[in-house]
């Protein structure tokens, strides 16, 4: 990666977790894309010199990369040169996202109030589906669409089929289901009736289309999913077009007592931090400040025009100053905000408390607030990527004007974040001397003082003063220095002990829950391995049976067929030999006739007969040549 960091002009940065690669796009011609796997020193450079627009942002998904300009979007393949698909729009591209349940679906929001989904594998000329936000554009109270986000959550909630569109005035619109025609979900998620029962949803009571749509989903699971962990679903076109969601809203989170000044604030970006119990959205204002919205319940699927029952309220407002800030959400649910030439880390300790309250059915006391830490200053950056991979790698890449700054995020930790205690990661500044080495304090040295003969009190006082000075210099001073050193060691030991004690006392309950979930996931994987082993055993048995059938002796009918094939080969070879002989004879006759024609002047009738004979000979030669070619 070091080679890609040098001599770049304001590059774009992105992180592809599927391939564990950092992507760097130089924004000066020629546009080069640097692909840097973090587990190796190899670097792949992809030349994009024919890129027809100035790139503003990029988002990877599996082995594809979407690059966006002002009104154009390009989809390329990261690992090959086979894919290059350009989409042009009549207006500005406001926001775009890859669909989390699909390998090739890309959603784009434009100022004409339409959210479109394209399947880049099928067609980029026409969208697969589009939703129009039902607002009165002539009304001054309504805002304009600025951003959207898909909801995705590990819980068994139908919210994962939903999408939220943000308007500039802070209003939200829900689109559910917002899915492409082909998508995939985990197999345990396909029991929709159980999901509805668990979440206490009653869609079928007030909207029969929801139940019909769930049945269509279940009936169109592909057979290839039987031996896979995911259920792959492909809806027929007529089904897909019959069940089109109607956007619900607007949803406003403003309370009655909020001033008109706060209502007039403009928003420009939305992120989903949690999509079920609680539902949490992060909104960024044009001024740079952040707003955290919280709601409880589930987002209802709807195929009819009605108001949404989703209730949201402002949980927290975090004041920042500075426009055009860049937000990234890491895999460990931390928010990183590059704003006003500084990089901030925002932790959400209250999120796990609210989730625990929903699971236990009781309200937690002493709900914490978000923790904001300023990581670094003097960073006039324009692009940000958070590299978070397998705990080994956790750092930020920030694009400056002519360089990329790398900031280690492992050193930025709050108390209580240590589940597996590692003494090397504790922030303890100990002196260079090791605590494990014994401290040997030598005995005070002997003080040799040659006293003169004392004849009066003045000489005695002078001698005693000399002795005290030498004792202080050789004994008292070294002992006092050792005492100070010992006191420093003791203080360091106390500090180390307190940090260990605090770290041990702050092991979170949700870490234990995660461990329990990991054990359950491991059990499911072991069951899948056992099922795959049985399938593999059956395949091996079938191959062995086929192999045994190959080694069996031939039947009488098979022997007769083999003899006939052998006879046919012999006849073919004999015909080829005869044909070659006849061809040589005809060539000789043709040469003799040609020579005769040159030396003898024939009458017209005889000449016509010779020409006919020559024509027939040429036809015969062509047929023989064709036969010879077919039998080679």
Q: Can you give the pLDDT at residue 599? A: 56
pLDDT-derived band of residue 378, with 50, 70 and 90 as boundaries?
confident
Q: Using CA atoms, how far apart are residues 89 and 404, in angstroms rounded to an integer?
A: 32
The pLDDT-based confidence of 98 (bands split at 50, 70, 90) is: very high
Minimum mean pLDDT range among 52-66, 176-190, 478-492? 478-492
pLDDT score, position 135: 75
Compute the distance between CA of residue 377 and CA of residue 355 in angstroms, rounded to an integer.
Answer: 34
Q: Is the pLDDT of residue 330 over 80?
A: yes
pLDDT band at 60 (very low <50, low <70, confident <90, very high): very high
CA 224/CA 242 separation, integer angstroms: 25
Residue 600 class from Cβ within 10 Å (0-12 exposed, 13-18 middle, 19+ buried)? exposed
pLDDT recorded at residue 431:
41
Write the DSSP string, 512-524. Answer: HHHHHHHHHHHHH
Distance CA 34, CA 7 (A): 13
Q: Which residue has the higher pLDDT, 251 or 416?
A: 251
Contact criterion met (CB below 8 Å) for 274 and 150: no
Q: Which helix (H) or strand (E) holds 292?
A: strand 290-295
- Write out the two tokens for 546: 């086929």
Tell me, what's the pLDDT at 2? 45
- Strand 95-98 and strand 105-110: the pairing is antiparallel
**Are 16 and 44 a contacting pair, CB within 8 Å?**
no
Selection from 330, 326, 374 nearest residue 15 by Cα: 330
The per-residue pLDDT for 54 is: 93
Q: Cα torsion at 171, 176, 178, 179 (round to 10°)?
A: 160
* CA distances (Å), origin 481, targets 90, 437, 493: 78, 18, 19
Contact indicator for 351, 280 with CB cutoff of 8 Å? yes
For residues 139-154, give the mean pLDDT: 80
Give the distance, in angstroms, between the CA of residue 18 and the centroid of all CA atoms in the same chain: 5
Res 186: pLDDT: 85
pLDDT at 488: 77
Determine the average pLDDT of the residues in 17-29.
Answer: 89
Q: Which is more confident, 356 or 256?
A: 356
Beta bridge partners of 384: 398
Among 253-257, 478-482, 490-494, 596-600, the least confident range: 596-600
Q: What is the pLDDT of residues 413-472, one digit of tens each?
A: 544 433 343 444 434 343 444 444 455 555 555 555 565 666 666 676 777 777 777 776
The larger pLDDT score, comparing residue 390 to residue 173, is at 173
The pLDDT of residue 519: 67
d(CA 169, CA 146): 10
Mean pLDDT, range 350-363, rounded to an integer: 81
Give the lowest-confidence range in 57-71, 476-490, 514-528. Answer: 514-528
pLDDT of residue 440: 54
Mean pLDDT of the chain: 78
Instruction: Pick 507 or 462 by higher pLDDT.
Output: 462
Helices (H), 551-603: 556-599
Q: What is the mean pLDDT of residues 224-235?
A: 88
Residue 44 phi, psi dihedral angles, 5° rounding: -105, 135
Q: Are 368 and 379 in contact (CB under 8 A)?
A: no
Tokens of 482: 């050792």
| Range of 164-168, 208-212, 542-546 with top mean pLDDT | 164-168
Could you tell me the CA-to-CA distances from 226 to 100, 162, 229, 230 in Å, in that order? 22, 26, 8, 9
Q: What is the pLDDT of residue 72?
A: 94
Mean pLDDT of 562-589: 75
- Sheet of 21-25: strands edge to edge? 12-16, 21-25, 32-37, 44-47
- Does 9 have pLDDT greater than 60? yes
Q: How many CA atoms lie within 13 A of 600 on its CB side?
A: 12
Collect all residues with Cβ–Cβ distance below 8 Å to 329 and sequence separation of at least 6: 271, 273, 282, 335, 336, 386
Q: How confident is the model at residue 597 (pLDDT cuts 50, 70, 90)?
A: low
Residue written as tokens 């234990």? 512
Spatial distance between the Cα atoms of 508 and 532, rounded to a whole number of angstroms: 36
CB 30 within 8 A of CB 16: no
| Angle 609-610-614 from CA coordinates, rounded to 5° | 120
Record the tokens describing residue 475, joined without a space.
Answer: 């004994």
Q: CA dihedral defined by 190, 194, 199, 201, rounded to 10 degrees?
A: 90
- What would the two tokens of residue 430 be? 């100990």
pLDDT for the residue numbered 92: 94
Determine the Cα–Cα distance for residues 471 and 466; give it in Å rounded to an integer: 9
DSSP three-state, residue 63: coil
Helix ranges (H only) for 153-207 are: 192-198, 203-206
pLDDT score recorded for residue 450? 60
* pLDDT value at residue 225: 85
- Per-residue model confidence (pLDDT) at position 318: 92
Sign of CA dihedral 547, 551, 553, 554: positive
Q: Report the range of poorest mean pLDDT among 235-249, 403-417, 574-588.
A: 403-417
Give the mean model confidence (pLDDT) for residues 220-247: 89
Higher pLDDT, 61 or 578: 61
Interval 159-193: pLDDT, tens: 888 999 999 989 999 998 999 999 998 887 887 77
Q: Looking at residues 72-85, what average pLDDT do you find?
A: 86
pLDDT at 511: 56
Given a contact cutoff of 8 angstroms between Cβ atoms, the answer to whether 373 and 396 are in contact is: no
């Amino acid at each position: 990666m070091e080679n890609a960091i040098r001599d770049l002009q304001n590059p774009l940065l992105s992180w592809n977790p599927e391939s564990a690669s950092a992507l760097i796009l130089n924004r000066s011609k020629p546009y080069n894309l640097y692909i840097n796997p973090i587990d190796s020193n190899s670097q792949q450079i992809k030349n994009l010199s024919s890129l027809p627009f100035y790139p503003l942002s990029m988002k990877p998904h599996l082995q594809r990369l979407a690059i966006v300009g002002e009104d154009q979007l390009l989809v390329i393949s990261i690992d090959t040169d086979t894919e290059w698909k350009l989409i042009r729009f009549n207006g500005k591209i406001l926001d775009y996202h890859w669909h989390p349940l699909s390998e090739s679906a890309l959603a784009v929001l434009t100022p004409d109030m339409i959210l479109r989904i394209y399947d880049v594998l099928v067609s980029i000329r026409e969208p697969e589906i589009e939703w129009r936000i039902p607002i009165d554009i002539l009304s001054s109270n309504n805002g304009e669409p600025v951003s959207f986000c898909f909801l995705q959550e590990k819980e068994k909630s139908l919210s994962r089929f939903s999408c939220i569109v943000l308007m500039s005035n802070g209003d939200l619109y829900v689109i559910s289901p917002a899915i492409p025609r082909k998508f995939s979900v985990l197999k345990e998620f396909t029991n929709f009736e159980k999901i509805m029962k668990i979440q206490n949803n009653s869609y079928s009571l007030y909207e029969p289309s929801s139940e019909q749509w769930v049945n269509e989903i279940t009936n169109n699971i592909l057979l290839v999913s039987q031996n896979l962990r995911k259920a792959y679903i492909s809806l027929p076109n007529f089904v897909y077009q019959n069940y089109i969601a109607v956007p619900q809203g607007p949803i406003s989170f403003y309370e009655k007592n909020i001033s008109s000044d706060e209502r007039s604030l403009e928003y420009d970006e939305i992120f989903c931090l949690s999509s079920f119990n609680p539902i949490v959205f992060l909104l960024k204002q044009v001024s740079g400040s952040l707003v955290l919205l919280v709601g409880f319940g589930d987002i209802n699927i709807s195929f009819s025009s009605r108001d949404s029952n989703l209730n949201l309220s402002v949980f927290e407002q975090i004041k920042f100053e500075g426009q055009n800030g860049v937000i990234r959400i890491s895999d460990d649910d931390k928010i990183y905000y590059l704003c006003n030439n500084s990089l901030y880390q925002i932790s959400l300790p209250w999120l796990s408390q609210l989730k625990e309250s929903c699971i236990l059915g009781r309200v937690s006391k002493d709900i914490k607030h978000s923790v904001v830490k300023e990581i670094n200053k003097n960073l006039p950056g324009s692009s940000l990527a958070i590299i978070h991979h397998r705990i080994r790698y956790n750092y930020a890449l920030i694009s400056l004007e002519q360089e990329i700054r790398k900031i280690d995020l492992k050193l930025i930790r709050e108390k209580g974040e240590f589940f597996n205690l590692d003494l090397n990661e504790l922030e303890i500044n100990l002196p260079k001397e090791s605590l494990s080495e014994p401290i040997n304090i030598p005995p005070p040295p002997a003080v040799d003082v040659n006293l003169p003969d004392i004849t009066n009190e003045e000489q005695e006082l002078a001698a005693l003063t000399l002795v005290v000075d030498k004792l202080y210099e050789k004994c008292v001073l070294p002992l006092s220095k050792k005492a100070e050193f010992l006191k420093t060691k003791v203080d360091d030991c106390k500090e180390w002990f307190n940090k260990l004690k605090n770290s041990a006392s702050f092991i979170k309950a949700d870490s234990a829950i995660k461990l329990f979930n990991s054990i359950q996931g491991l059990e499911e994987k072991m069951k899948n391995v056992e099922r795959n082993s049985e399938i593999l055993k059956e395949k091996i048995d079938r191959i062995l049976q086929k192999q045994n059938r190959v080694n069996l002796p031939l039947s009488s009918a098979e022997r007769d067929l083999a003899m006939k094939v052998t006879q046919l080969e012999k006849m073919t070879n004999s015909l080829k030999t005869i044909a070659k002989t006849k061809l040589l004879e005809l060539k000789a006759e043709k040469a003799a006739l040609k020579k005769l024609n040159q030396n003898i002047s024939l009458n017209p009738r005889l000449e016509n007969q010779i020409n006919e004979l020559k024509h027939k000979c040429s036809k015969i030669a062509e047929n023989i040549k064709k036969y010879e070619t077919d039998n080679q």
